[in-house]
Amino acid sequence: MLLRRHVKSRIIKFLRVIGYAFCVSSFVAFGYDWDPSRVFYKRLKAADEYVYDELRPLHKTFNPEDFITIKSGEDRDQLREKLRSLVWGGDVDPSEIRPTVVRKDVLHQPVDTSDCVTLQSHPSSPTETLLLLKCQHRLYADVRGLQSLDELILRVGPVYETSIAYFRPRVPNGTLIVYQNGYASTYHYQHRHIERLINEGYTVAALNHTGYGETLRLCEKFRSTVGPWCEIGWGTSTVPRPMRVLFSPIMASVGHGLDSGNIDRVAMIGFSAGGWLTVVASAIDPRIKNSYTIGGVMPRFLQETEEIAPNQLYRPYQQIGSLLDQFILGADLPGRRQVQFFNRYDRCCYRNTRSLLYRDHVANAIRAVGGGFFDVRIDETHPRHKISKGTLEAILDDLKQGKDDD
């Protein structure tokens, strides 16, 4: 009896300790996950003061002016032409690229989802990289401001095929936003932001990076034929003019939007690796009036070793010139605007305030060629690799500002 009481009292004590520990841990977990307190934690854990707070002395030694070669309208036109022919060759006009197939109103068409579980799971790829439009209809079915969702299919070269989600709002405000996602997920991961844009009246064309979503399976299944086209997403390729794969879907979305007759302004938002695609696309195509990048692009001289994005490594592209010149091309005409957002405490890349080092130099160079508006903004509200609510609001404000300026 005494032994039983003793054992019982030990068990009670043990349970109490565990219970207290769990309760306290729930509070600690709250602090660990909540954005404002996580910023504090990440700064505390940083390897040195140069991760988030101070600028590396090395970075301050560079003069951004040395990387700007555009001094006149002629320089600008030459670089634009070089980029254009690097991507498509001299005989293709990117403004004439259109989707190969348009599937209208896919949300209200019968769709076979029986293979979604198989298609969206993979032993070596995380689910977020595999999400397919036909399997994610539920994310968009109840969007208040959505009139219809079309799927645009574009064939590039003889075998590569990609899918673009084209969201038509009920009350279009005349602006098409091309949203370009980056690595490690699909645009479905941004569904709340897409919803917000649609509800504001924006027409949205959402694109995945090469090798994600619809193209992931294709690249894998037909490794010997389609595979080489997909490899450009990682910087190498043996096919002719492989950068077409990255930029033709953007041009097809813009062309398709402008053909519809209810679009008078095109903007582009690029997140992560999609930020670089946004910079290059807006450098090539002046039809893209507003461009916004989020945690997406950084000139080589300011990059940390681990930040070199693979899709930028294609050697002929590397030889074409500095990114600062391409920033200038993105806002080179009156009425064009480019705003680059960076998350100061980003877990992934381009953190801290390095980008402010080139902001004024680029803005001045843009003014010198009679161009529009360029800015760099730092988001300090969270420590994640994401588009925060505040950043999206800032983009919406800037879009309105751009319209008012017209």
Point out which residues bind other proteins (CB under 8 A): 8, 11-12, 15-16, 18-27, 29-30, 32-36, 189-192, 381-382, 384, 386-389
**Cβ-proximal residues to 208 (8 Å cutoff; 6+ apart), any chain:** 162, 163, 181, 186, 187, 214, 215
Distance of closest approach, residue 229 Cβ to other proteins, in angstroms: 31
- Cβ distance to other proteins smaller for residue 287 or 384: 384
Q: How far apart are CA 175 and CA 24, in angstroms?
A: 50
In the bound complex, what is the minimum distance in angstroms from residue 31's beta carbon to other proteins? Answer: 9
- Mapped onto helix, strand or coil, the DSSP state of residue 244 is helix
Question: Least distance in Å: CB of 53 to other proteins?
Answer: 22
> Based on CB atoms, which residue is closest to other proteins, 62 or 189?
189
| DSSP letter assigned to residue 369 | T
Closer of 12 and 102 to other proteins (Cβ): 12
Tell me which residue has tokens 């989600």: 165
In angstroms, give the least distance from the CB of 166 to other proteins: 22
- Our measurement of the distance from residue 268's CA atom to the centroid of its chain's CA atoms, rounded to an integer in Å, reads 10
Task: Please name which of 402, 350, 405, 358 lies closest in space to residue 379, comparing C-alpha atoms.
Answer: 350
Q: Which is nearer to other proteins, 120 or 190 (CB)?
A: 190
DSSP code of 94? G
Closer of 342 and 373 to other proteins (Cβ): 342
Going across the sheet that includes 175-180, the strands are: 101-103, 146-156, 160-169, 203-207, 175-180, 265-271, 288-294, 337-343, 373-379
Q: Closer to other proteins at the Cβ: 27 or 124?
A: 27
Give, in degrees to the nearest 5, the angle at Cα 254 between 70 and 209: 85
- Work out how close the CB of 19 gets to other proteins at its nearest, in angstroms, rounded to a whole number: 4
